[in-house]
Amino acid sequence: MRNLEIAKLFNEIADLLEIKDENVFKIRAYRRAAMNLESLTEEIEAVAARGGLTEIAGIGKDLAAKIGQALDRGRIEYLEELRREIPRGVVELMAIPGVGPKTAKLLFEKLQVDSVEKLEALAQEGKLLGLPGIKQKTIENIVKGIQVVKKGRERMPLGRALPLAREIVQALEKLPQVKKISMAGSLRRMRETVRDFDLLITSTKPAKVMEIFTSLPQAAEVLVHGETKATIRHREGIQVDLRVVEPGCFGAALQYFTGSKEHNIRVRELASRKGLKVSEYGVFSEATGKRLAGATEEEVYRAIGLPYIPPELREDAGEIEAALEGRLPNLLELDDLRGDLHAHTNWSDGHHDLEALVEAAHRKRYEYVIVSDHSRSSTVAHGLSEERLIEQIGQIRALNKKYTNLRILAGSECDILADGRMDFPDRVLAQLDIVLCAVHSRFKQGRAEMTARIVKALSNPYVHILAHPTGRLIGERDPYDVDLEAVFAAAKQHGKAVEINAQPSRLDLNDHHARRAKELGVMLSIDTDTHFLDQLENMTLGVATARRAWIGKSDVVNAMPLEKLLAWSDKSRRESHK
């Protein structure tokens, strides 16, 4: 059983305990344990094997035993008991907005409701009326909520969310009533998908701002409209929350609404041990009630005795401990990147010619840019034949004469064939400056076969970077089954880099995996995989993923100056020969 599967079981236990109205702190313990398992970079089986389960934060004797059960038998007896008591469908009721554990329990006990369908039928027949605390308005909200569940409240990929959110920010920031505005929540933490947009504003006229916000053309529906807080449903389906605070609270509110919830809980615990109280209005002395900080986030963290923690790290994944011990990482910045090591042209499936790509890279003041079109087996992507590749290399060498401060690197995104051989022979690869290798076929191979295939590719002396290592497409295609630990070990052994592919639909490696790669001492390459010129801008998403993975400049090959990069690419070839 994998980390995520056990986390899921713990979350299910927490759901069931909520319906049973159990001790809230016990429930929180399960949720926290689940969270920590999700962000654990090491395989849980390996941790268990060396007896380290209770070293994981939030895992004590009891939960360690339950993890043991899950690993040994594939099930947790306690969960089985709970499941016998409360049907699955009752838990699913809580997915309906407005229905929480209390309502689910009430519906189950009074009316034996154990599915969303049954609830919908009863609501329409008017059978819900008369239950304690439920009147017409609540029934209307339940019916509406059921429609939302049925449509599926999917998470939106960050790459799609950011432009939509920016549109709203731009509409609001030009208002005279708006002083400051910032994105918050998972958008600001740059999670790969978001479930809603959180926006924060300072204004002295909150009512007016609320009015304008709720009547934006993007607002398909107004869900909440209070004095300082409003929620709309965006016409693209996603929820947008807006909070208005006074300028003196901006930092505290931004800290609060950026989250994550788990990070904030830890921050507040820490504060309360120091006799401080933290809310969205500021940091207050418990004793005197005096406000000690609030205008800026830096000030808020400082008041609690912490250095500033970048939003991307705020997941309660070790950043609080690191902050306390003064070992927060120096995170990668967009400006640290000196070039792009994965880009296509219309020689294969790109939509611009070679010169246009190079010009665009030049405008971005890159020190180098690669041309890495597909190899011959990728026929749907018009992969290059050996002859065409040789011809392209010639053009690249010629084009290089035109530029003094930009180096065009000859490369290839070379298919890893089903048996782990490369799609071009070594004598061809040897002529390239940088070679990426990637899986583009036979995604359904078994774990052992796929792992051996990629490991073999990484042992090829002419290969430098493993592109989109898991092949996942967010919301569309699952990653292929591969043992990443073995892949990272091979990359480390042969001195290869693994990619964070910055395509919005890929972000592959993801933040967790990239963090693990870094921990194991594997170099990363952050690339856009550009097919249209404007996709060069996706680098921000790759950098965000890297930052969420605690990655700094020194972990990244394309943060190296050209000479160092070329030395690395040579070295990787030499080392592979050993």
Partner DNA sequence: GCCGTTTTCGGCCCGACTGTTTTCAGTCG
* 99 is a contact residue toward DNA (CB under 7 A): yes
* 155 is a contact residue toward DNA (CB under 7 A): no
**Between 34 and 452, CB nearer to DNA:** 34
Secondary structure class of 126 (helix, strand, coil): coil
Contacting range for DNA; rule: CB under 7 A; set: 57-65, 344-352, 353-361, 497-505: 57-65
What span, in angstroms and rounded, lies between the C-alpha atoms of 318 and 512? Answer: 13
Contacting range for DNA; rule: CB under 7 A; set: 154-162, 175-183, 268-276, 462-470: 268-276
H-helix or E-strand containing 110? helix 101-111
Out of 103, 345, 375, 460, name the contact with DNA by CB under 7 A: 103
**Between 184 and 514, CB nearer to DNA:** 184
* 151 is a contact residue toward DNA (CB under 7 A): no
**Between 94 and 175, CB nearer to DNA:** 94
Out of 88, 150, 166, 261, name the contact with DNA by CB under 7 A: 261
Out of 9, 134, 409, 522, name the contact with DNA by CB under 7 A: 134
For residue 112, the minimal CB distance to DNA (Å) is: 17
For residue 199, the minimal CB distance to DNA (Å) is: 11
What span, in angstroms and rounded, lies between the C-alpha atoms of 360 and 346? Answer: 15
Query: Peptide bond before 186: cis, by omega within 30 degrees of 0?
Result: no
* 387 is a contact residue toward DNA (CB under 7 A): no
C-alpha distances out from residue 543 to 8, 45, 309, Å: 29, 31, 17
Structure token pair of residue 489? 């070990």
H-helix or E-strand containing 491? helix 484-494
Out of 1, 34, 47, 63, name the contact with DNA by CB under 7 A: 63
Contacting range for DNA; rule: CB under 7 A; set: 43-51, 270-278, 301-309, 338-346: 270-278
For residue 278, the minimal CB distance to DNA (Å) is: 6
User: Is 256:266 a contact under the CB 8 Å cutoff?
Assistant: no
Task: Give how many residues touch DNA by CB under 7 A.
Answer: 61
Out of 3, 182, 202, 239, name the contact with DNA by CB under 7 A: 239
For residue 185, the minimal CB distance to DNA (Å) is: 6
* 58 is a contact residue toward DNA (CB under 7 A): yes
* 227 is a contact residue toward DNA (CB under 7 A): yes
**Between 165 and 491, CB nearer to DNA:** 165
Contacting range for DNA; rule: CB under 7 A; set: 218-226, 444-452, 477-485, 495-503: 218-226
What span, in angstroms and rounded, lies between the C-alpha atoms of 268 and 71? Answer: 34
Contact flags string 17-56 toward DNA, x per CB under 7 A: ------x-xx-xxx--x--------------------x--
CA-closest candidate to residue 280, choices 261, 288, 270: 261
Secondary structure class of 332 (helix, strand, coil): coil
Q: What is the β-pairing status of strands 434-438 and 465-466?
A: parallel
**Between 215 and 554, CB nearer to DNA:** 215
Out of 112, 170, 279, 330, name the contact with DNA by CB under 7 A: 279
For residue 65, the minimal CB distance to DNA (Å) is: 8
C-alpha distances out from residue 419 to 401, 436, 450, 466, 490, Å: 39, 17, 9, 16, 16
For residue 58, the minimal CB distance to DNA (Å) is: 5
What span, in angstroms and rounded, lies between the C-alpha atoms of 299 and 293? Answer: 6
* 137 is a contact residue toward DNA (CB under 7 A): yes
* 114 is a contact residue toward DNA (CB under 7 A): no
**Between 54 and 395, CB nearer to DNA:** 54
What span, in angstroms and rounded, lies between the C-alpha atoms of 447 and 61? Answer: 33
CA-closest candidate to residue 479, choices 465, 490, 493, 469: 469
Which residues within the stretch 404-433 sit at the binding site for DNA (CB under 7 A)?
Answer: none
* 147 is a contact residue toward DNA (CB under 7 A): no
C-alpha distances out from residue 189 to 297, 316, 546, Å: 14, 12, 12
Secondary structure class of 554 (helix, strand, coil): helix
* 228 is a contact residue toward DNA (CB under 7 A): yes
Sheet holding 239-245, edge to edge: 180-184, 196-202, 239-245, 229-234, 219-225
What span, in angstroms and rounded, lies between the C-alpha atoms of 308 and 326? Answer: 11
* 110 is a contact residue toward DNA (CB under 7 A): no
Contacting range for DNA; rule: CB under 7 A; set: 260-268, 299-307, 383-391, 433-441: 260-268
H-helix or E-strand containing 403? none
Burial of 268 per CB tally in 10 Å (0-12, 13-18, 19+): middle
* 272 is a contact residue toward DNA (CB under 7 A): yes
* 185 is a contact residue toward DNA (CB under 7 A): yes
User: Is 267:278 a contact under the CB 8 Å cutoff?
Assistant: yes
User: Is 418:454 a contact under the CB 8 Å cutoff?
Assistant: no
* 204 is a contact residue toward DNA (CB under 7 A): no
Q: Note the helical H segments in 370-442.
A: 386-400, 426-429
CA angle 283/286/287 to nearest 5° reads: 130
* 133 is a contact residue toward DNA (CB under 7 A): yes
Out of 50, 273, 327, 578, name the contact with DNA by CB under 7 A: 273
- Residues of this chain that bind DNA (CB under 7 A): 23, 25-26, 28-30, 33, 54, 57-64, 78, 94, 96-104, 132-139, 141, 185, 196, 198, 224-229, 239, 241, 257, 261, 264-265, 268-269, 271-273, 277-281
